[in-house]
Amino acid sequence: MGLIDHRFEDNFITTSIDRVLNWARESSIWPMGFGLACCAIEMMAASASRYDIARFGAEVFRASPRQSDLMIVAGTVTKKMAPVLRRLYDQMPEPKWVISMGSCSNAGGPFPTYSVLQGVDKVVPVDVYVSDCPPRPEALLYGLMRLQDKIRKEGTVLRKERVTQLGDAEPTLIGDLSTSSRSPRALPRGERA
């Protein structure tokens, strides 16, 4: 019996259901691209062979919101496009996440315009903000990794509370906020170009 006594000791792994579900969710994110402007080109470049977003589990961009759990909003969202964005978000199954990509979707872009929504977070809750104009594909991949970290840490109960609110309590900001990447309206009068 000496050989059999310790044979199965290292073969059992104990974990919680939340950890297993979060591991599966973070490893197989199905994004839906909502490309509206120049940031969409960078989003497409992130899925090409040079950057290969598939390494992080976001294999193929889905065309239908019913088949995706991540919405990447890339570009300028106008006020007429806001109800469409909200409808697509509502059609996505739970759990669902949103990445706001670029200065236009984060804060309305460099020029204050009456027709542009001043941040996509006024319509849908945003989990990760990727800043710059346009952000590099590496920044989107870094934002995806930060989203995976958030998914790994959340539980089922916390997710249900978040769905009832508009916006996340602690969204993640990716990118530097130096004067070169900020909107001109955020700068003091003397620093505007």
Sign of the alpha-carbon dihedral angle for 56, 59, 64, 67: negative
- Token readout for 134 is 């346009």
pLDDT at 156: 65
| Sheet with 128-130: strands ordered across | 31-35, 70-74, 97-101, 128-130, 172-174
Q: Which of 147, 145, 142, 127 is nearest to 174 (CA)?
A: 142
pLDDT tens digit string along 70-128? 999 988 888 899 999 999 999 998 888 899 998 888 888 887 888 888 889 899 999 99
Q: Which fold has domain 29-181?
A: Rossmann fold (3.40.50)
pLDDT higher than threshold 50 for residue 44: yes
Q: Give 193's pLDDT tier (boundaries 50, 70, 90).
A: very low
> pLDDT higher for 57 or 81?
81
Q: Give 41's pLDDT tier (boundaries 50, 70, 90).
A: confident
User: What burial class does residue 148 get, using C-beta atoms within 10 Å of its C-beta: 0-12 exposed, 13-18 middle, 19+ buried?
Assistant: buried
pLDDT at 83: 92
pLDDT at 181: 44
Segments making up each domain of the chain, as ranges: 29-181
Element (H, E) at 1: none
pLDDT at 17: 77
Q: What is the residue type of 52?
A: D
- Token readout for 77 is 């969202």
pLDDT tens digit string along 120-150? 989 999 999 998 888 888 888 898 889 888 8
Mind spelling out the 3-state secondary structure of 53-111? HHHHCCCCCCCCHHHCCEEEEECCCECCCHHHHHHHHHHCCCCCEEEEECHHHHHCCCC
- Token readout for 179 is 């004067």
Question: How far apart (Å, rounded) are the C-alpha atoms in residues 135 and 175?
Answer: 8
- Token readout for 83 is 């109800």
pLDDT higher than threshold 60 for residue 161: no
Provide the mean pLDDT of the chain: 76
Least confident of 16-20, 48-52, 166-170: 166-170
Q: What is the residue type of 41?
A: I
Percent of the chain with pLDDT over 90: 11
pLDDT at 10: 65
Q: What is the residue type of 67?
A: Q
Question: How far apart (Å, rounded) are the C-alpha atoms in residues 115 and 108?
Answer: 10
